[in-house]
Amino acid sequence: MIHLIVVKRIKPIPFSGFLIPLISLITGLLLSGIILYLSSGISFIDLMATILTAFRSPTVVKDTLILTLVGISLVLAFTGAVWNIGSEGQIHMGMMVSAWTALFSALADIPILAKIVGILLAAILGAFWAFIAGVLRAYAKVDEVPVTLMLNYIAYYILDMLVYGPWRGKRTWGYIRTDEIPKILRFQRILNTTATWEALILVIITGILVWLLLRYTTIGLRIRVLGSNPDILRSAGISVPLTIVMALTLSGLISGIVGSVYFFGDTYRLSYPLEEHTANYGYLGILVAWLSMLDIRAVPVAAYIVSSLRISGTLMQIGGLGGVETMFVFIGSVLLTYSIVRIFSEYSVKIRF
Amino acid sequence: MIDMILEIAPVFITYYLVALGHGFFEKSGVLNLAIDGLFIVAASVAFVGAVYTLNPWVGVLSAAVITALFGVFLAYVTTKFPVSHGAVGLSLMFLGYGIGLIFGIPANFYANSQRIKSADYTFRITPDVEVMMFIIPIIIGFLLLYILNYTKLGASIRAAGENPHAAAALGVDVLRTRLIAGAIGYALIGVGGAFFTLAWRSGWDPKIYLLGYGWLAFAISLSAGRHPLVTAINAGIFATLVKYQYLIQTTTGISTEVAKMLPFIAAIIAMVIFNVTPLRRILAPPASLGKIYYKEEKTV
C-alpha cells in the first residue's frame, strides 16, 4: 500500500512566488490537453500551437489590459481572504450605468464629461453591488462566495430586462440590443490594436493606487491582517466586519470601472441576453489574481497569460459556443493544479511503501 | 390543483436530491463549492448515457458514478492535503462547466443527426411517476437522516465535520469517512442532475451552464441547516418558485427577467434568514466546515 505523507517544511522553498505559478500553469495545461484529447481528439501539439498563436494575437493587448484591471480588483479582495467571485456581476453593473450615461443622459453631448461620469458611476455601482455581499458577509455571516455568485445572475437579468425593454435600440437590424454609442464617445484605440489609451491609463493609475493602498496605508494593513489573522484585528479593537465590507466594496469599485472600460472601449452596446454575450472577464480574473500569487506587480504578466488562454479557447472552439467550453477547461485545470501545487512551498509530500 | 402540485415533481426531485447530497457531504466538513459545475457534469453525462443507449436509467447511473468519482476526488484532496477547500471547489466548478459542455455538445450533434427525439431517451412522465418522484426522494431523505443519527458511519461523518482532530484521536478514520460521504453525496447530486435533463427539461441544451441551478441547491441546503427533512421543505418551496415563475410572471405582469431573478433573490434572503434567526443555532453548520485538516503527526 502506498502512503502519501505530508510534512511541513522548515523553510518555504526559494523562488516559490515564481516557480509555483509556472509549475501550475504547465501541469494545468497538460491536464487540459489530456481532457481535450480524450473528449475531442485535439492533439497536444495543436493545442500548444494555438496557444502560441494566441500569445501574438491582435486582441491580446486589449484582453490583457482589461484582465489586469480585474486582477487588481480581485487581488485587493483576496488579500483580505474575502472571496469576491462576483466581479462578473460588478462589471455588468458598471456597463449598465456607462451605457445609460452614453445613450440616455444629457451628458452624451459633452463627450469628455460623459466618459468621466460614465467611469465614476460605473465605479460607484460596482462598489454598491459588492457592498451588498460585503454587508451580508460581515453582519449576517452569509458566505460571500454564493452571494457574490448569485448577484452575478441577478446583474445579468437586470441588464437583460433593460435591453429587452426600455433600452432596446432603433438601429439594430432586428437584434435585441441597444443602439451603438456614437464614435466620439468611444475610448481612443492605441495604434492599430483593439486596446484603448483610457484603459491603459486606468490600469496604471489603479495599479499604483492599490499597490500603495495595500503597502502603505492603514486600510491596506487592515485588509492584509484580515487575510492572515482576523483575531489580531479583533484584539486590536478594529472592526472585522467593517474591514470585510471595505475590502469587498473597494474590489467592487475597481470591477465596476472594468465595466466602463469594456463598454466604452470594446462592446459600444449591450446585447440581449447579456449572459450569452459576456467575455467572462469576471471569472477569468480569479485565475489572474491567483496566478499572480496576490502580487500586484505580477498581475499584468498573469493577465497576459490568461488572455492568451482565453483567445486560444475561442480559436479552437468545439461546439459553436464561442470557445467558452475550452476556456472553462483551461480555467478549471490551471486553478485546480495551482490550488494543490501551492502547498508545496510550505509542505513536502513523501511517498512511503 | 393536484395536477399543479404533481407537475412540480421533476423539479422537486432534482433540487431535493442535489441539495440532499450536498448537505450530506458538507456534514463531513468539506466545503462544497464545486456543486454548480458538477451539477452540469451530471446533467450532461446523464444526457450522453441516455442518448447513446436510449435508456434513461443508463443516464442516471452514469451520472451517479461519474459525479461520485469527482466527489471522492474532492474529499481526498481536501482531507489529505492542507489545501483551501474553496479554491479546489471553485476550480472543479469551472472544470465541471467545461467538461459538461465538451461531453454534451457532441452527443447533442449525434442526437440531432440521428433524429433522436427527446421522448426516446427521457423518462415518460405520468401522474404515477410524478407521485413516485415525490415519495422516493423523501424516503432517501429519511434514510440519510437515519444514517446520520443512528449509525456508526453517521456518527463518524458528524464527528469529522465538527472536529476532525478529535474524531481522529477517538479512532475515526477521517479520510475514509469523508471519501464515503463524498461518494454518497455526489452520487445523489449526480442522480438529481440526471433528473434535470431526463425528467424536468426532457433534453439537453448547451446553455444550461448559465442557469446557476446548482447554486440554488446550495442555498436550499444551507438555509435548511443541511437537515435532510428540512431540506425537503425548502426544495419544495424553490421547486414551486422555479416551476411557476412563468405563471407568477403572467399573473402579476412582471417581466421574464424579474421572474428569472426571483429564485436567486429568494435564495439570498433564505440564507440571510437562516443566519440571523435562531435557526442557525438549532441547525448549526458543522464547526469545521471548510477548515484545513492537517495533522502534524503525519511527520514520520
Query: What ipTM goes with this model?
Result: 0.91
Residues pairing with A271 in the sheet:
A177
Residue of B nearest to A331 (CA): B94
Find the range with the poorest average confidence among A72-76, A335-339, B214-218, B242-246: B242-246
Residues B199, B178: Cα–Cα separation, whole Å: 30
If pLDDT is split at 50, 70 and 90, which confidence band does B297 have? low
Facing residue for A142 by CB, picked from B77, B90, B272: B272
Asked if residue A248 lies in contact with residue A137, where contact means CB atoms within 8 angstroms, the answer is yes
Tell me, yes or no, whether B293 lies in a domain: no
H helix and E strand count, chain A? 14, 2
B117 lies in which domain range? 2-285
Question: What residues contact residue B137 under an 8 Å CB cut-off, 6+ apart?
Answer: B12, B13, B16, B17, B20, B232
Q: Is B84 part of any domain?
A: yes
- The predicted pLDDT at position A10 comes to 83
Q: In whole angstroms, give the CA distance from residue B135 to residue B131.
A: 6
Strands A347-352, A3-8: pairing kind: antiparallel
For cell 449591450, what's the residue? A270
Is B79 within the bounds of a domain? yes
Mean pLDDT of A221-232: 93
Beta-carbon separation of A283 and B94 below 8 A: yes
State the burial class of residue A122 (Cβ atoms within 10 Å of its Cβ: 0-12, 13-18, 19+). Answer: buried
Answer whether B102 sits within 8 Å of A141, measured CB to CB. no
B292 inside domain: no
- In this prediction, residue A172 has a pLDDT band, given cuts at 50, 70 and 90, of confident
Contact A336 B212 (CB under 8 A): no
Q: What is the CATH number of domain A43-315?
A: 1.10.3470
Q: pLDDT grade, residue B12 (50/70/90)?
A: very high
Residue of A32, A277, A336, A347 for testing the chain B interface, max B β-carbons within 10 Å: A336
Provide the domain count of chain B: 1
Contacts of B276 in chain A (CB under 8 A): 140
Most A CBs within 10 Å, among B88, B101, B173, B269, to test the A interface: B101
Chain B positions in Cβ-Cβ contact with residue A338 (cut-off 8 Å)? 87, 91
Q: Are B206 and B43 in contact (CB under 8 A)?
A: no
Delimit the domains of chain A by residue range. Answer: 43-315
Banded model confidence at residue A13, pLDDT cuts 50, 70, 90: confident
Q: How far apart are CA A265 and CA A155, in angstroms?
A: 21
What CATH number corresponds to the domain at position B96?
1.10.3470
A2 burial via Cβ count (<10 Å: 0-12, 13-18, 19+): exposed
Report the alpha-carbon distance of residue A183 to residue A172 in Å, rounded. Answer: 16
The grid cell for B147 is 444514517
For residues B251 and A352, what is the distance between their CA atoms, to the nearest angstrom? 66
Name the amino acid, one letter, at B136. Answer: I
Confirm if B215 and A89 have CB atoms less than 8 A apart.
Answer: no
For residue B290, being part of any structural domain is answered with no
Q: How far apart, in whole angstroms, are the C-alpha atoms of residue B22 and residue B141?
A: 12
Nearest to B84 by CA among A169, A343, A313: A343
In a domain, B209, yes or no: yes
Give me the mean pLDDT over the B11-30 stretch: 96
Is B298 within a domain? no
